[in-house]
Amino acid sequence: MNLLSLAELHSAQEILSAVALHTPLLPSAALSELAGRQVLLKCENLQRTGSFKMRGAYVRMARLDAAEKARGVVAASAGNHAQGVALAAQRLGISATVYMPENAALPKVVATQRYGARIRQVGTTVAESLAAAEEDAASTGRVLVHPFEHRDIIAGQGTIGLEILAAAPDVGTVLVPTGGGGLLAGIASALRGGGSAARIIGVQAAGAAAFGRSMELGHPITLDRVATMADGIAVPEPGKLTLDIARSEVHGIRNVGEESIARAILLLSERTKVVVEPAGAVGVAALLEDIEVGEGPVVVVLSGGNIDTLVLNRVLRHGLTTAGRYMQMWVRIPDRPGSLANMLNLLAKAGSNVVNIDHTRTGSDLGFEEVEVGIELESRGVEHSQEVLDMLRDHGFVVETTTNLRA
């Protein structure tokens, strides 16, 4: 076990005192009602650069010696670590080159450039970008600032755990977004070093579930493929150091699906007025999937808020759909005057709001006197959506929907 000491964590906290924000721990009435106990949100989405990553990056780079700083640094990231490294380099006067996937979110690429880092876009995954960064470091002598596999990185992330303990010393459970494991290992070190017996649960996306399987086997495994909207934790292989700490101190790892992540982003936006990226929402997604949280207050770490507005629009639409508040349906109606108006009048009486309509008069499976109407509408939830469908069918309409209504 390589658990970080309190001395290491407090030293990191001192280094960060002039640059990192002490992010708030906010109560959520909506999530507290859902969990049946107090839920507090650790809002690292409000941190400088929009995520926790700047903590570890700054500590790692601040501790470089003069010769290392003169050579510069190189890093790889889908966005959050990239911005953390770029900001740290700007503050410390260090040259930084950051490798990012070719499909990295444009706002994250632009933000990294604005902090002054040189961007190299290589590959389609963080693993491919990291391989390119390692080659760069080997050939140029630049210092590789790994996104999670270094004690200084873990120490920087662990300062979040110190802040949690200071604000909520009676915390019972902490839900931590998990990819490579730096945040998880850091918070575990802080809580255990501070004498807390809180249950620490890592939460990963089901489509990038390397950490949990590695915990089970006792060594890092490499996934052949990762597929999740949560690009901040889409890591195919965890670190050896982070895994070693987690195996001794973490209660368990929970996987969450894409629908739950979308619903979590929607809930946070509507009920807590907080905008987070998919990786930052996985702890809330675990609550939505009825994770067992035990006794005492629950702290959910919102690890980042760097979400492309176009992606946010799609995710919110998906979240509304999975919550039964947005439906897409196809309705067959007689091809005669007044049929469409009659159907729309029924939808209005049912209290649903039509947001888009597509009128199709031809099709190989349509009858001679039939037309098909594609409708997108808003409702008040699952039960109301089902009432709308039942009402249309009771009036003789043939209705098909791709929406999976679940209470």
Q: Which residues are catalytic, by number?
A: 53, 303
Cβ burial, residue 376 (10 Å; 0-12/13-18/19+): middle
Give the 3-state secondary structure of residue 155.
helix
Closest CA to 285 of 249, 312, 254: 254
CA 26, chain centre distance (Å): 18
Q: Tell me, what amino acid is at 288?
A: L
Q: Tell me, what amino acid is at 127?
A: A
Beta pairing partners, 332: 372, 398
Distances (CA, A) of 4 to 28, 155, 398: 31, 7, 63
Is the Cβ–Cβ distance between 209 and 216 less than 8 Å?
no
Give the 3-state secondary structure of residue 88.
helix
Closest CA to 115 of 164, 48, 178: 48
CA dihedral (92, 131, 243, 190) in degrees, to 10, reads 10
Beta pairing partners, 203: 177, 254
In angstroms, the CA 102 to CA 172 distance is: 41
Beta pairing partners, 401: 329
